[in-house]
A and B are shown apart, each in its own frame.
Chain A
């Protein structure tokens, strides 16, 4: 089954070591995610594309305990088979805190400050039978 990204331009794909694609303000160096043309920090209007780090620390987290509404959600919404998933902000040193799904959903195993690494996870199957993938962060073993 072929894998397709949930969207183009948010993370590098295909890739052995996928990275999120962000922006950096040419004037003040502020990082943004996803890509945008203007800087919310200094109001500058020139930004350049930058790849974000793959590792960081968990800044905060929650667990999505019920199926989100579809649309917009593309994943499993059947209450019988839905599996809770973690969501958190991962602080990428020197860059920015990014929001992402987490591969871990057990509150006992999620700790603020723990090391996390970016991975690609399956989300759904599209009409052509392709596996749609998105980005997530996983605890570093």
Chain B
């Protein structure tokens, strides 16, 4: 029997644009807030896993936090960097090596669409030179095909954006806090058909830290421990359709989201019907729609009715992206996956303020997806 794991402290630096504060410093602030939340001192933390995509090596932050000699391992795994840090911290405690540790993610990106390093991504220079190395194109093409196959409307994409910005307006840590209407989302600049400016998240900044402990010692730090029932990361299999792919196979295979979701449910010993609230990767509005089905929460095509009926709103049957998701918070790659977990901890503790879901949630789900075809899922419960 392996050791159970609880999240006993959470900390976040505001997402968005913070001039004059480096990504690393935002990570440090998140760590200090997480320590304060758990009532632990930095010198009590036995190990750390941390990472960023564009804001430096996480382990160098010990020079600001204190040189305690702890085991600090850097994690670099694209959009699943935060999820991979959490996975690693989770298993370090489960294995019995340490009792108390921290997972950290932070980032700070330049403005505009991500600049893809074609060589670093294992692609030829011709690919970027020819105008194909844009992650935004993949998202446009995936949802365009999906709309064609399953009858998802442009209006539904607009409604996803409307919900995200409304939820963001209730989140003091969010970047975008001004509500917009479905029509404003549909009418904004067309970036990559059928996706408009307000249907895409923007690369941004922010930091999140989560303190994990052996579940049987969680009461030392908090009276509201949140248990980590599953943490899974999966890469793509042959035949899946992924970002930054010069070609795809003729035969179709489900992507890494489906695999990581199934594995997480098996690990937790529950099913999609047991989940009360979910944070799903919404790089753009269509991604949230497709990920609802890929994670097993509905059949392909059912999202059209669910979203039009308001089922994924904070007060709906199945609230999705209650903190405004990537659309309202932006995408600091290293921090994004941990932001989702942070939000679920708040919701499960009943501390989400104006955006607290009213269904008394007991089990919560997070999902990230990113290049080059990777996905991470967690399941939390109280």
Contacts and interface: CB of A to CB of B under 8 A. Distances in A.
Given A34-B124, A72-B129, A74-B130, A61 B118 contact: no
Contacts, number: 126
A62 interface: yes
Contacts of B127: 72
Interface string B57-78: 0000000000000000000000
Nearest to A112: B148
Contact of A60 (B134, B142, B247): B142
A118 interface: no
Contact of A68 (B134, B142, B246, B247): B134
Given A7-B126, A87-B141, A63 B249 contact: no
B132 A101 contact: yes
Given A62-B140, A96-B248, A99-B245, A69 B125 contact: no
A107 B154 CA distance: 14
- What interface size band does chain B fall in? 35 or more
A60 B137 contact: no
Contact of B130 (A6, A62, A65, A95): A6
Contacts of B113: 66, 68-69
Given A33-B246, A63-B193, A69-B113, A134 B142 contact: no
Contacts of B192: 62-65
Given A60-B142, A65-B190, A95-B250, A74 B129 contact: yes
A134 B129 contact: yes
Contacts of A69: 112-113, 115
A68 B126 contact: no
Interface string A77-106: 000000001011101001111111100000
Contact of B144 (A62, A64, A100): A62
Contacts of A94: 250
A91 B141 contact: no
Interface string A117-133: 00000010000000010
Nearest to B195: A62
Given A33-B246, A87-B141, A96-B247, A64 B134 contact: yes
Contacts of A75: 129-131
Contacts of A134: 126, 129-130
B193 A68 contact: no
B150 interface: no
A62 B243 CA distance: 13
Nearest to A93: B250
A97 B149 CA distance: 17
A128 to B, nearest CB: 16
A33 B141 contact: no
B145 interface: yes
B141 A72 contact: no
B133 A34 contact: no
B247 A97 contact: yes
Contacts of B249: 30, 41, 96-97
Nearest to A69: B115
A89 B141 contact: yes
Contacts of B296: none
A53 to B, nearest CB: 12
A60 B131 contact: no
Nearest to A94: B250
B327 to A, nearest CB: 18
Contacts of A74: 129-131
A132 B125 CA distance: 13
Contacts of B124: 7, 10, 34
A33 B144 CA distance: 23
7 contacts: A34-B246, A34-B247, A64-B137, A73-B133, A75-B131, A95-B250, A96-B247
The 8 closest A-B pairs by CB, nearest first: A72-B128, A62-B140, A7-B126, A60-B145, A74-B129, A33-B247, A134-B130, A63-B193
Interface of B: 112-113, 115-118, 124-134, 137, 140-142, 144-145, 148, 189-195, 238, 245-250
Interface of A: 6-7, 10, 22, 30, 32-34, 40-41, 59-66, 68-69, 71-75, 85, 87-89, 91, 94-101, 107, 112, 123, 132, 134-135
